[in-house]
Structure 1
Amino acid sequence: MKMNLLTKTCFVIATCFVFTCPVESARILVVAPFFGKSHSIYIHPIVLELANRNHDIVLISTNTIKDPPPNIKLLQSIQESKLTESSIEMYDTWSMSTIPHTHTIWNDLLNETENCLKSPDIKRFLTKNDDHFDLVISELFHQEALYMFAHKYKAPLILLGSSTYYSGIDSFMGNPSTLSYLNHEFTKYYGDLTLYQRIENYIIGNYISIVNKWYAIRQQDDLARKYFNNLNQPLPSIEELENNVSLVLLNTHFSFDTVRPLVPGIVEIGGVHIKPPKELPGDIKKFLDDAKNGAIFFGFGSYLKSSEMPEEKLKIFFNSFKSLKQRILWKWDGENEPKNFPNIFFSNWMPQSDILAHPNIRAFISHGGMLSMQEAVSRGVPILGISVYGDQFLNMEKIKSKGMAVHIPYNTLNEENFNKSLNAILNDVNYANSAKEVSRRYHDQQNTPMDNAMYWIEYVIRHKGAKFMKSKLVDYPWYKYHNIDIYFLFFISAAVLYFISPLVLRYVELLVFVILSRAIRIIRSFFVEGILIGTLDALKFIITIYAILYGIQFILRILF
């Protein structure tokens, strides 16, 4: 019996609904206690969108959400940070070498993790054993003890990478990685590495991997056992918790970041926080609309305060801006705004992403923070980057390689290189064209970063953890992953061949010689000596050589 048109239509609609509808309302715990505002700018939009999709959210955070919907409950994490609270000191961190800097990060974030776990709200929350969660989402930022929440609630674990690519995920997600061409995030090299840079990249990458496993992770392990001691024992190790991670959402995208192989369980959602531009406040809008020669936006993010720069550095900017035809919007965080700069608009708050979308913006002077870089890419604005600390150096090197930025490390900043770089950004059309091209590549995606994030989060819920998205490399010991066992077998075989082949070949040669000698004596008894004897001797020599070669080939076939 044939279906009529209405029946067919209903069937198609029902089928599409079944396969595309979101999961039913899930109860989700989001653990993101790090106090950095930029981290919350990345994570909180994801939390709000999950709530908008009718999921019930419990959020552990230092930073609050303004006017949260009723299905978001905030558990306040206290902030007693040993990390630098004043950006004055941050302007000096560029002098810190890689390895001490790494240990400082580990130790400071260990303290941050404990600050979270001993917060009154969190301590009360830990004592409750009758709660239920379908999913735990935790920030990927060296606070691994918090992964124990996933074990407590027997829920799948998703990690949100708020910073640059963290190479540690390769081991527990089964992702292929090699330091021969992929720069480690704690080195200051990018692009085609020289032999020396590859050696340094290899040493630092392996050193950090080893010390992280045997030092930093063990400290986090001890912390987890201290604060989750009311759970059934024994508790899983941090390494076991990492191996059970279902999905990692990265704040990257190949259009402006490193192109690398990724398993299905690692998904790029870079720029997830960026929304369509909104109308600017009246004073800012008028200032930009009247900028006939264009305008420059100067902003150092949510943490660094340009007003706390040393005076000699500030003079570089003031002296340069005096002679510009362009207007400057400067995010100034200090109380006393500089005077007598008619072409500069100072304010302690500015809607950065919306400003960068204004058609009169010609350049962005930035510290190279991840979110700032992404907003510049999204709006197609070239960057003059002055990296100060953390991942900013590497961020700027990446975007510089795309042709849309000039990079000046803060410690090398002087009036000459700043004026030269700013002049290049403003007057060399190649920077603007490259910025627009990178922006086109970034926006040419099948789904928005937010839709992509929501799909994969709900995918993990639908498929009860979706552990099948990880490759078999997770279970491989290191020697199998690097083919050390195969190389060892080749080495042993070559060594055996080297030592025994002379003996074998000598034995084969003697055996052939004996057999041929006897054969020739028999043949000689039937023929007269002369030409035939000479021919037989030559034949004996040829057959001996052939037998030796055949013996070598036979031995090689046995060994290999």
Structure 2
Amino acid sequence: VTLLGPFSDKQQKSEMYHPIVIEDVMKELEKSEDLNIEESFMNKNVISIMKTFFDFSCLICSHSYHSKGFHTLLNYPADFKFDLIIIDMSMSACFYPFIQKFKYPPTIGTTAFLLPPHLSGVFGNELHPSYIPFYHLQFTEDMSFFERVVNYVVTYANYLTETYLKNELEKLARETFPDMDSMQTLERHISLLLCNLNFVFNQPQSVTSNIIPVGGLHIKPSKKIAHGLANHHGRC
């Protein structure tokens, strides 16, 4: 397993695990005066949040392209074979060109942001803004007419914003991968999406067979209660 990311060295390197670190990501975020993720979420302004994600994606991709970790993977031999690529599709379109570099192996996408509208569309799933609230809005599925109108506008605004972002990231990517296929072509090669949905907690919605809800997959079995605490609990 080869893992490229800012925290890939949290697990110890071994014969079977090869971490490649994109260094100083957090320092880059701290240096940015225009990017304030915490403030955007505290204000709960959905337009501000979308702009923050746009700026965040551009900043991280630009930083990654100049990192040693990125160039380590970029310098892998042209005939190096990966059996499978798993890629975070939330804000990482700038890594799509690696799909082409490694000769289009089977590729699976993931996202931690429920099921964003733009990814839903990419995998052929219908958008349902009349009863599925956009995940940054404080709406439930029981929306008033006005809320549905707002939800519709915001949902498709996000869709258009992400399309524009993809075009901007493609311009950035072509500086490193001048002969790359378009982002849309590379994205269409991703055949399966694992999304952070769990219909116990999230609104039920129809999804196509190539979108797999795996919300809660990250949860580990609980540890046993400490012996002294267990005895105290038993006496209560």
Q: Same fold (TM over 0.5)?
A: yes
Distance 1:124 1:194 in 2: 52
Instruction: Please tell me whether residue 204 in structure 1 is matched to residue 148 in structure 2.
Output: no
Instruction: Please tell me whether residue 276 in structure 1 is matched to residue 188 in structure 2.
Output: no
Secondary structure of residue in 1 paired with 2:192:
strand
Q: 1:293 to 1:116 in 2, by over 3 A?
A: farther
Q: 1:291 to 1:212 in 2, by over 3 A?
A: same
Instruction: Show the counterpart of 1:144.
Output: 93
Q: 1:430-484: CA deviations, max 9, x gaps?
A: xxxxxxxxxxxxxxxxxxxxxxxxxxxxxxxxxxxxxxxxxxxxxxxxxxxxxxx
Distance 2:231 2:145 in 1: 50
Instruction: Show the counterpart of 1:58.
Output: 2
Instruction: Show the counterpart of 1:133.
Output: 82
Instruction: Show the counterpart of 1:171.
Output: 121
> 1:108 deviation in Å?
1.3
The percent of aligned pairs where both chains have the same amino acid is 20
> 1:291 deviation in Å?
6.0
Which consecutive residues of structure 1, in runs of 5 or more, have no partner in the other structure?
Answer: 1-56, 295-560
Alpha carbon RMSD of aligned pairs, Å? 2.6
Instruction: Show the counterpart of 2:56.
Output: 108
Secondary structure of residue in 1 paired with 2:191:
strand
Distance 1:93 1:267 in 2: 27
> 1:181 deviation in Å?
1.1
Instruction: Please tell me whether residue 99 in structure 1 is matched to residue 47 in structure 2.
Output: yes
TM-score (norm 2): 0.85
Q: Which AA in structure 2 matches 1:216?
A: L
1:79 to 19, 24, 30: 24
Alignment of 1:458-477 (within 5 A): none
Aligned length: 228
Secondary structure of residue in 2 paired with 1:125:
helix
1:158 to 80, 100, 108: 108
Alignment of 1:126-525 (within 5 A): 126-128=74-76, 129-153=78-102, 154-213=104-163, 215-229=164-178, 233=179, 235-280=180-225, 282=226, 286=228, 290=232
Q: 1:291-326: CA deviations, max 9, x gaps?
A: 6999xxxxxxxxxxxxxxxxxxxxxxxxxxxxxxxx
1:120 to 46, 54, 68: 68
Q: Which AA in structure 2 matches 1:72?
A: Y
Which consecutive residues of structure 2, in runs of 5 or more, have no partner in the other structure?
Answer: none
**Which of 1 and 2 has greater Rg?**
1
Contact 2:90 2:112 (8 Å CA) reproduced: yes
Secondary structure of residue in 2 paired with 1:164:
coil
When you count helix as a share of all residues, which structure comes out higher? Answer: 1
Distance 1:217 1:252 in 2: 24
Contact 1:136 1:149 (8 Å CA) reproduced: no
Distance 1:109 1:89 in 2: 12
Distance 2:176 2:41 in 1: 32
Q: Which AA in structure 2 matches 1:255?
A: V
Distance 2:230 2:172 in 1: 51
Contact 2:141 2:203 (8 Å CA) reproduced: no
Contact 2:37 2:52 (8 Å CA) reproduced: no
Query: Which structure ranks higher in relative contact order (CA pairs < 8 Å, sequence separation ≥ 6)?
Result: 2
